Chain A
Amino acid sequence: AQSVTQLDSQVPVFEEAPVELRCNYSSSVSVYLFWYVQYPNQGLQLLLKYLSGSTLVESINGFEAEFNKSQTSFHLRKPSVHISDTAEYFCAVRVLNTGNQFYFGTGTSLTVIP
């Protein structure tokens, strides 16, 4: 079975500092990779995704993630965080050819400190 590991359950970081949220998955076959964000008291929203092509993908609010096939990782990074980035971040994987199921990590709570 597929597993998605987010090693850091909580990440506190000062405003304007860089941040990296780690995500590793277990599948050795082709995958689609996603990062979702959940702001307080809201549902999950898609932040960015990797389907194919360039291994570096970016979101409109400055986040980026890089697909590393050899390390089976899809870490999320931002060079300078804002207070408004405080949220829960979930990594998700869809293994191709196994139907419509997504596998989610346990989430990383990012807290940006003024």
Chain B
Amino acid sequence: DVKVTQSSRYLVKRTGEKVFLECVQDMDHENMFWYRQDPGLGLRLIYFSYDVKMKEKGDIPEGYSVSREKKERFSLILESASTNQTSMYLCASSLRGMGLTDTQYFGPGTRLTVL
């Protein structure tokens, strides 16, 4: 089974702090994604990466950056955390290409609270 792990289930940070959220997948997937999930808004894509050192902006990249130095690891960075970034953050991965492999596998999520 594919396993996607996220470094923390719960995180509390102060406004202005730099925050790192880590995601690791163990199935050699090319594609990795970061979403945030908010009530009434569903999942919104922040950034995704289709290869090492490659990244693409999603729908809401402002205030975030990402890093993909190794294939299995995709990091989300909040340069200066703000209260409106309090949310559930979900990481996902998938194999590249079409067909039956085109499924996203999700981690358990990190609930971030910024005070």
Chain A positions within 8 Å of B, measured between CB atoms, are: 6, 9, 32, 34, 36, 42-46, 49, 51, 90, 92, 94, 96, 99-102, 104-107
Most buried by A among B43, B90, B102, B108: B43
Q: Which of B40, B41, B50, B90 interacts with A43 by CB under 8 Å?
A: B90
A100 touching B90, Cβ below 8 Å:
no
- What's the dominant secondary structure at chain A's contact region? loop
Q: List 27 A-B contacts (CB under 8 A).
A: A9-B40, A32-B102, A43-B106, A43-B107, A43-B108, A44-B43, A44-B92, A44-B104, A46-B104, A49-B103, A51-B100, A90-B42, A94-B102, A99-B50, A99-B56, A100-B48, A100-B94, A101-B45, A102-B33, A102-B45, A104-B43, A104-B44, A106-B40, A106-B41, A106-B42, A107-B42, A107-B43
Inside 8 A of B94's CB, which chain A residues have their CB?
100
Residues from chain B with a CB closer than 8 A to the CB of A96 are: 98
Residue tally, chain B, CB below 8 Å to A: 29
Q: Judge if B31 is at the interface, Cβ distance under 8 Å.
A: yes
Are the CB atoms of A43 and B109 closer together than 8 Å?
Answer: yes
Chain B residues near A (Cβ < 8 Å)? 4, 31, 33, 35, 40-45, 48, 50, 56, 58, 90, 92, 94, 96, 98-100, 102-109
Chain A residues near B109 (CB-CB < 8 A): 43
A31: shortest Cβ distance to chain B, in Å? 11
The CB with the most chain B CB atoms within 10 A, among A6, A36, A96, is that of A36
In the bound complex, how far is the Cα of B40 from the Cα of A102, in angstroms? 18
Residue of B31, B42, B50, B105 near A105 (CB, 8 A) is B42
